[in-house]
Amino acid sequence: MDKTSFFLKGDICWSSSPNTLETAENSLLLCSGGKSGGVFKDVPKEYFNLPVRDYSGALIMPGLTDLHIHAPQFAFRALGMDMELLEWLDKNTFPEEAKYRDLEYAREAYGRFVAHVKKGPSTRLCVYATIHGPGTLLLMDMLEESGLVSYVGKLSMDRNCPEYLKEDDGVSQASEWLDAFFKRHGEGLYKNSSPIITPRFIPSCTDKLLKGLSEIQKRSGLPLQSHLSENRKEVEWVRELCPESENYAAAYADAGLLEGNAIMAHCVWSDEREMDILAEKGVYVAHCPQSNMNLSSGIAPVRRFMERGIPLGLGSDVAGGVHTSIFRAMTDAIQVSKLRQALIASGEKALTLEEVFYMGTAGGGAFFGKPGRAPEKKANGVADGYEFGSAGSFEPGWDFDALVIDDGSFRCPSALSIRDRLERTVYLSDDSHIVGKYVRGKQIIL
């Protein structure tokens, strides 16, 4: 077997379903060729030759997935938190994103972002860049080198934004970026970083741009990420811009953008009809509770999404959110669901630890293994390389992404179950407690 075959020993926890937390004290987790091979009390005889990496007393859990994060916004996180979304975009986001036309600025800023998330609990990320193709490729290079697995999107927008960020031909610019990616991918430069189609949101994209991106998606089989029903004023704006569409989700569907794999962030104001579309198309919702609080957007109806069978994950949404840790997103998701129960929907059950842990691990991680549509034709001779295996669980066959957490400083004199230790970790952990981090079986933090 190769170097990505070994055992980790410790106190292990993972999700086998949205409501089921599996735990195994003082047990062995098998990594077999970069895939999870299951959990054992003792080493099976057929694996006697494999090394055991001993983390006895520490928690071992799946790596976390951030389904929604803006890399160029990392530079101004925790600023402008007294604004609502649209004002915040105009005053903070657009001026900062314009700086990424300068590759030296992008190198420094993206370098800080990548170094930060590499130390954190996320092993997989869905990342927004800016409209600048060269800067987006630079970010992909940096994430590739980090060992993290990522989908990275060059933003597309051609209306309702400053002139200095408005694309003359967003379809051509997206195509040029993808051509450059596929050329480099064909040369073997990318194993962990792949492109994702990224219209910013309906207000910033003309019908021509949306339909052009849809054609690119059909040809390439690439996934898509964007924003949906985040803010009341934004929803009203979309209604004015797209009077022929039934709702905000329908505007994406009418442009043909929900026929492949897609993530929509926020969905705070999605009603039942919009949920019909999300459920029918199998669209993932990236729940970003901290951002929704910071930008006065509201509280998403996550319980209803679950009841409708809409796939769910968590997003940090930096810089709408100020913390990159998905542990923090889990905490916020529980807390805002309690507020929703108390103030908005009295009969609605608040989220549990098991549910948010699933969302931040197997729920979001499953997007990376979601079967894609086969491309209509190869792009520059390359038709593979933009799909990964599912991650976020230790069920056999899943990609082996794992965190080792030293939770000793959280302990109390009484004995705690693994479930209780996990809860404390979710609420209290920071990057300093991560003593091991593995992505596809490769160790990236000692």
pLDDT in tens, 33-46: 999 999 999 999 99
- Our CA angle for 17, 23, 26, nearest 5°, is 155
Model confidence at 1: pLDDT above 70: no
pLDDT in the model for residue 375: 44
Q: How far is residue 293's CA from residue 232's CA, in Å, rounded to a whole number? A: 13
Distances (CA, A) of 51 to 3, 6, 46, 354: 10, 5, 13, 31
Helix (H) or strand (E) holding 21: strand 20-32
Let me know if 348 is exposed, middle or buried by CB neighbors in 10 A (0-12, 13-18, 19+). Answer: middle
- Show the tokens assigned to 339: 């507020």
H helix count then E strand count, the chain = 15, 17
> Do residues 140 and 193 touch, judged by C-beta distance below 8 A?
yes
- Our CA angle for 267, 330, 231, nearest 5°, is 25
Length of the chain (residues): 446
Distances (CA, A) of 326 to 103, 123, 369, 432: 29, 10, 20, 15
Model confidence at 239: pLDDT above 60: yes
- Flag the least confident range among 5-14, 112-121, 429-438: 429-438
How many angstroms separate the first and last alpha carbons of the chain? Answer: 22
Average pLDDT rounded to a whole number, residues 175-183: 96
pLDDT in tens, 310-331: 999 999 999 999 999 999 999 9
Where would I find the H helices in 255-288?
A: 272-281
Average pLDDT rounded to a whole number, residues 204-208: 98
pLDDT in the model for residue 3: 80
Confidence of residue 61 (pLDDT cuts 50, 70, 90): very high
- Show the tokens assigned to 197: 């189609």
Distances (CA, A) of 88 to 91, 95, 128, 159: 5, 11, 17, 17
Q: How far is residue 211's CA from residue 252's CA, in Å, rounded to a whole number? A: 9
Q: How far is residue 283's CA from residue 280's CA, in Å, rounded to a whole number? A: 8
Domains along the sequence of the chain with CATH: 6-62+392-445 (2.30.40.10), 64-369 (3.20.20.140)
Distances (CA, A) of 338 to 36, 343, 402: 35, 9, 30
β-pairing verdict for 20-32 and 6-17: antiparallel
Model confidence at 380: pLDDT above 50: no
- Our CA angle for 156, 262, 194, nearest 5°, is 65
Q: How far is residue 304's CA from residue 291's CA, in Å, rounded to a whole number? A: 20
Which stretches of 204-253 are assigned E, i.e. beta strand?
A: 224-228
Q: By C-alpha distance, which of 65, 88, 66 is closest to 77?
A: 88
pLDDT in the model for residue 371: 52
pLDDT in the model for residue 344: 93
Region label for 131, one of left (φ > 0), alpha (ψ between -120 and 50) or beta (otherwise): alpha
Confidence of residue 372 (pLDDT cuts 50, 70, 90): very low
Model confidence at 382: pLDDT above 80: no
Task: Identify the bridge partners of residue 124 per DSSP, sorted by sequence position.
Answer: 65, 149
> DSSP letter string over 43-104?
--GGGTTS-EEEEEEEEEEEPEEEEEEEGGGGGGTTSSTTS-HHHHIIIIIHHHHHGGGSHH
Q: How far is residue 167's CA from residue 164's CA, in Å, rounded to a whole number? A: 8
Confidence of residue 445 (pLDDT cuts 50, 70, 90): confident
What b/e string do you get for 183-201 counting C-beta neighbours within 10 Å, with b at 16 or more? ebbeeeebebbbbbbbbbb
Task: Identify the bridge partners of residue 194 per DSSP, sorted by sequence position.
Answer: 151
> Do residues 178 and 153 touch, judged by C-beta distance below 8 A?
no
Distances (CA, A) of 437 to 2, 51, 442: 18, 17, 8
Model confidence at 260: pLDDT above 80: yes
Average pLDDT rounded to a whole number, residues 178-200: 95
What does pLDDT average to over the chain?
94
pLDDT in tens, 142-151: 999 999 999 9
Which percentage of the chain shows pLDDT scores above 90?
Answer: 91
- Residue 429 CA to its chain's centroid (Å): 19
Q: Which residue has the tokens 């842990």?
A: 357
pLDDT in the model for residue 383: 40
